[in-house]
Amino acid sequence: MYQVYPRSFQDSNGDGIGDLTGIIQRLDYLKKLGISAIWLSPVYRSPNDDNGYDISDYEQIMAEFGTMADMEQLIHEAQQREIKIIMDLVVNHTSDEHPWFIESRSSKDNPYRDFYVWRKGLDGEKPNDLESTFLGSAWQFDEPTGEYYLHLFSQKQPDLNWENPDVRNAIYNMMNFWIDKGIGGFRMDVIDLVGKIPDQKITGNGPKLHDYLQEMNAKTFGGKDLLTVGETWGATPEIAKLYSDPKRNELSMVFQFEHVSLDEQPGKSKWDLRPLQIAELKKVFSKWQTELDDQGWNSLFWNNHDLPRIVSRWGNDSTYRIQSAKMLAILLHMLKGTPYIYQGEEIGMTNRVIQDITEVEDIESKNMYIDRISKGYTKTEILASINAKGRDNARTPMQWDNTENAGFTTGKPWLAVQDNYHEINVANALADKNSIFYTYQKLIELRKNYPLIIWGSFELLTNTPETVFAYYRHYQGETWLIVCNFSNQEQPFSLEKTTTKTIIANTEKEYFDLSDRILEPYEAFVVCLAR
């Protein structure tokens, strides 16, 4: 799966904003990479308070992105290249500009009143102290009817009331509208929140969550050849099985986020930084690789539109950019599960560095800045957090070539293109047979050809230096060994075994005899062991 963030992928008409025609123009590039499906971040009508994750009409295309005819053409052109389009389903909330909400807020007896979560205040106070992910109270007082509505994200993202069957049916009808257009499935935004019981301050994993998903499955995609993936921040392996055990008829798989939370201080927020411990990363991956058994299915990812660029985060974006980006790719793609690549990851795009809050577009970072200034943090501290974790890191325009604005637009990009586009761009990557791009291409091809990568069981090697992440995949009597040096230092590695072939590596070395080796910084290789 390849994630496209439409706003930043390819602009076709010079307004500085990526669009559907731009994506169509780049389908051949994606075909060359070898992907099977595109997860398209939201393209629906939206006032863009949260870049399209605030939807005002689920059955219309955002004017800046194009028209419904463009969307149908994208689905069709993708189909011709055997690429499916996975739509982003954002149904925990709508925009406050959605007609349902406009009706809902207009009077207490409006038929749409119960489409959202309204509560009376307690003696002029908020119903309770639930907080929004984007900071501040999750309750917003609304003048016309004198009640509060719930918004777990921004004030412009009121939460839908899933307890109301009319809401659920309206959503299922909308999903079927898209299924009928020939899409390949849905990525479900914060789906673990829809069973919330706000009065008890239960948000994630509410009691009715799985009933709702089973109902959704039965009324929409169930029994059809469609892929569904839930965004579930609160999933443990046990919970992931509830969603993705085929017998339960819910989703194909989930995104879990345990690994991407390892560089934050426990119990605090994503902005409270601490260095990654490789030992913990090994532990978390091993847990997810072994505990789902055959009852659940994993998604594998380093990046998305909410996360910083992995090469800057846990690799090395200076001296060892290419080496470390390939190592991270190899480590992830040899695991069991469905891999997701986020646009630009395949060419090793990096985080951007900002000097001032005025450079920030993302609502999450902006709100955090205001909040932390009021709490007495220094600007330097806050900018360090934004540079490390801010969502704009992943949202700078795709770097296509060496021409002005990296070939993303002929106009003024909505978010500045990174200066390093002269070196890091698709055209350079395609011209260099040793580029990161071709490592990704080969990994995708391998996954299509070797059932071992899909089905093999996982076993961690424990007797390695802490920064060497090594594991086996076993399948039908065959064993592959994956060895990744997760550091900018040489590391020893030794195994009294020989190999029959090298599957992939980020060096030109021979890997016949595995005893007493010295791994280079970020070296990674995959071999088939002799029996």
Measured between alpha carbons, how far apart are the two ends of the chain, in Å? 33
49 sits near ligand TEU (criterion: CB under 6 A): no
Span of 11-19, 214-222, 290-298, 417-425 interacting with Ca ion by CB under 5 A:
11-19
Q: How far is the CB of 365 from ligand TEU (least distance, A)?
A: 9
215 sits near ligand TEU (criterion: CB under 6 A): no
Q: How far is the CB of 52 from Ca ion (least distance, A)?
A: 14
133 sits near ligand TEU (criterion: CB under 6 A): yes
Q: Given candidates 1, 2, 6, 11, which one binds Ca ion under the rule CB under 5 A? A: 11
x/- contact string, 12-41, with Ca ion (CB under 5 A)?
Answer: -x-x-x-x----------------------
Instruction: Tell me whether residue 516 is exposed, middle or buried, using C-beta atoms within 10 angstroms of its C-beta: 0 to 12, 13 to 18, 19 or more.
Output: exposed
392 sits near ligand TEU (criterion: CB under 6 A): no
Q: What is the sign, positive or negative, of the torsion defined by CA atoms of 447, 34, 51, 375?
A: positive
Q: What torsion do the CA atoms of 390, 393, 394, 399 make, to the nearest 10 degrees?
A: 170
- The Cα 254–Cα 191 span in angstroms is 10
CB nearer ligand TEU, residue 62 or residue 528: 62
CB nearer Ca ion, residue 40 or residue 468: 40
Catalytic choice (64, 96, 142, 189):
189
Q: Given candidates 7, 270, 313, 333, which one binds ligand TEU under the rule CB under 6 A? A: 270
| CA angle (227, 71, 49) in 5-degree steps | 85
CB nearer Ca ion, residue 77 or residue 478: 77
15 binds, among ligand TEU, Ca ion, none (CB under 5 to 8 A by kind): Ca ion
- The Cα 134–Cα 53 span in angstroms is 13
Q: How far is the CB of 157 from ligand TEU (least distance, A)?
A: 6
User: What is the three-state SS of 285-316?
Assistant: HHHHHHHCCCCCCEEECCCCCCCCCHHHHCCC
Angle, helices 278-291 vs 237-244, to 10°: value is 40
231 is catalytic: yes
Q: Which two tokens stand for residue 412?
A: 């003024």
Are the C-beta atoms of residues 399 and 352 closer than 8 Å to each other?
no
50 sits near ligand TEU (criterion: CB under 6 A): yes
301 sits near ligand TEU (criterion: CB under 6 A): no
260 sits near ligand TEU (criterion: CB under 6 A): no
Identity of the amino acid at 92: N
Backbone angles phi, psi at 370, to 5 degrees: -60, -45
90 sits near ligand TEU (criterion: CB under 6 A): yes
By rule CB under 6 A, what count of residues binds ligand TEU?
A: 14
CB nearer ligand TEU, residue 50 or residue 147: 50
- Report the DSSP pairing between strands 118-119 and 57-61: unpaired
Identity of the amino acid at 95: S
CB nearer ligand TEU, residue 270 or residue 447: 270
CA 120 to chain centre: 36
Q: Given candidates 170, 210, 233, 290, which one binds ligand TEU under the rule CB under 6 A? A: 233
Name residue 61's beta-bridge partners.
Answer: 44
Q: Which two tokens stand for residue 317?
A: 């974006």
Catalytic choice (231, 264, 364, 523):
231
Are the C-beta atoms of residues 157 and 90 closer than 8 Å to each other?
no
Name the strand (E) or helix (H) holding 216. helix 209-219
- The Cα 202–Cα 497 span in angstroms is 52
- The Cα 303–Cα 176 span in angstroms is 29
Q: How far is the CB of 101 from Ca ion (least distance, A)?
A: 28
Q: How far is the CB of 348 from ligand TEU (least distance, A)?
A: 21
189 is catalytic: yes
- The Cα 197–Cα 210 span in angstroms is 14
346 sits near ligand TEU (criterion: CB under 6 A): no
306 sits near ligand TEU (criterion: CB under 6 A): yes
189 binds, among ligand TEU, Ca ion, none (CB under 5 to 8 A by kind): ligand TEU
x/- contact string, 412-451, with ligand TEU (CB under 6 A)?
Answer: ----------------------------------------
Binding footprint of ligand TEU on the chain (CB under 6 A) = 50, 53, 90, 133, 153, 189-190, 231, 233, 270, 305-306, 364, 391
Active site members: 189, 231
